[in-house]
Amino acid sequence: MAPARPVRAETHMTARNRHPVFFVLSIVSGAALVAGALFVRAELQVTRSEPVQEAHATPAVPVRVATVQQRPVGVRAQSYGFLQPYTEVTVAAEVPGVVAKQWVEVSDAVRKGEPLFKIDDAVRKIEHERALASAVRANARYELADANWKRIEALRAKDSSVPIEDVEARTGLSAARAGAAEAELAVRQAALSLERTSVLSPIDGVVSRIFIRRGEFAQTGQPTAQLIEIDRLKLVTELMDRDVVWLRVGQECVLATPLFPLEEFSGTVIRVFPKAMPASRKFEVEVEVPNADDRLRPGFFMRALFGKPRDSSPDEPARCLVVPRVAVSEENDRQFCYVVEPHDQSHVAASLFRVRRVVIVAVPIPAEPENLRVLSGLNPHDRVVIKGSQHLSDGATVRMTE
């Protein structure tokens, strides 16, 4: 039985050897609990000292909208062209001479009758004064011849005149009268030549080109400047014969340009050419375009839509809903668009609105490729998103922009 005692002693020693390990673990666990308590206390202090930040609201998406129209969709013709000045004038020098003064430059606005250039007039002033002096002498000779003729008439009344003197007085008076008239014409010619040294604007317009400068010599008929009228412009386009047959002078049309994609401009047909162009077999049409606000310029590319005049005939097209094609998207063979909620008052003060995604049915309009005819899903005067819809979802908040 003696070997059992060493075994117990070995076990006792093993327990004593493990006791420091448990002690270390206890210390580590206590430190962790203390650190956790301190961290929770710090978090509570931070929570009490700093307010809780609310979640940021989703920013409003800037969009552009258009209104659904209800109108007839009838026969329309479409054509393209470039704007031209309604009037274009090249002003030339009427007398030769050195350009002494220049009052205008390119892009300057001028009024009718305003001076553009001044040709040196020193020589013409002298010629005008010489013509005046000649006219004075001619008038003096005429007065002398007239007095002599009256004297001869008095003698002839008394039958005391000599026939030869009568002839001389009569011919002398005629020659003096002709001389006075010729001198008057010379004065007028000299005055006109002096007046034409001033090159004047024949229209209200804008200077588009300058052909001569101060100090240069201008020949008679040499262009000095080009003027254009831009308060109204002219669109020259071409139409097929099937469209010209119902087009009339004075008929209005709608114009559009890619430079202002959301705007329309009005025009009036002023001329329809009676003969087709040999190359294209189309008829030229000129349209007057008002431009009082000076937004359009010659050279702008324009699209013209000519609507066939409607009457009270039974086949007059019915009114239908028209929506811009850019407002309609497709997904899984379904058409939809985003409509601004008409009665959303939640963000009126901030000009913010909500949109809803609406499934529609729309078909193309042959005469209006930029629009679609709505068969279902929309109502008149609905506002649909035409720009920015790729960033939208149903119920999104939007801000309408110009």
CA distances from 176 to 39, 153, 181, 186 (A): 129, 17, 9, 15
* Integer angstrom CA distances of residue 138 from 95, 124, 171, 190, 246: 27, 21, 15, 16, 68
Instruction: Report the relative pairing of strands 283-290 and 301-307 from DSSP bridges.
Output: unpaired
Q: Which two tokens stand for residue 324?
A: 């811009």
Backbone angles phi, psi at 341, to 5 degrees: -60, 125
Record the tokens describing residue 55, joined without a space: 């979640």
For residue 232, the one-letter residue type is: R
Structure token pair of residue 93:
């020098």
- Please give the structure tokens belonging to residue 318: 């019915």
Q: How crowded is the C-beta side of 281, counted as CA atoms within 13 Å?
A: 2
* H helix and E strand count, the chain: 4, 21
Q: How far apart are the first and last CA of the chain?
A: 107
Separation CA 357–CA 171 (nearest Å): 104
Q: What pTM does this model have?
A: 0.54
- Residue 85's nearest CA partner among 274, 254, 296 is 296
DSSP type of residue 53: P
The secondary element (H helix, E strand) that includes residue 331 is strand 329-331
From first to last of the 402 residues of the chain, give the pLDDT tens digit: 444 444 444 444 444 444 444 444 445 445 544 445 444 344 434 334 344 343 445 688 899 999 999 887 766 788 999 999 999 999 999 999 999 999 999 999 999 999 999 999 999 999 999 999 999 999 999 999 999 888 888 887 877 767 888 888 889 999 999 999 999 999 999 999 999 999 999 999 999 999 999 999 999 999 999 999 999 999 999 999 888 888 889 999 999 999 998 888 999 999 999 999 999 899 999 999 999 988 999 999 999 988 776 543 444 456 789 999 999 999 988 999 999 987 665 555 557 889 999 999 998 876 677 889 899 999 998 999 999 888 889 989 888 887
Residue recorded with tokens 């193309």? 364
Residue 229: which of 323, 174, 294 has the closest Cα? Answer: 294
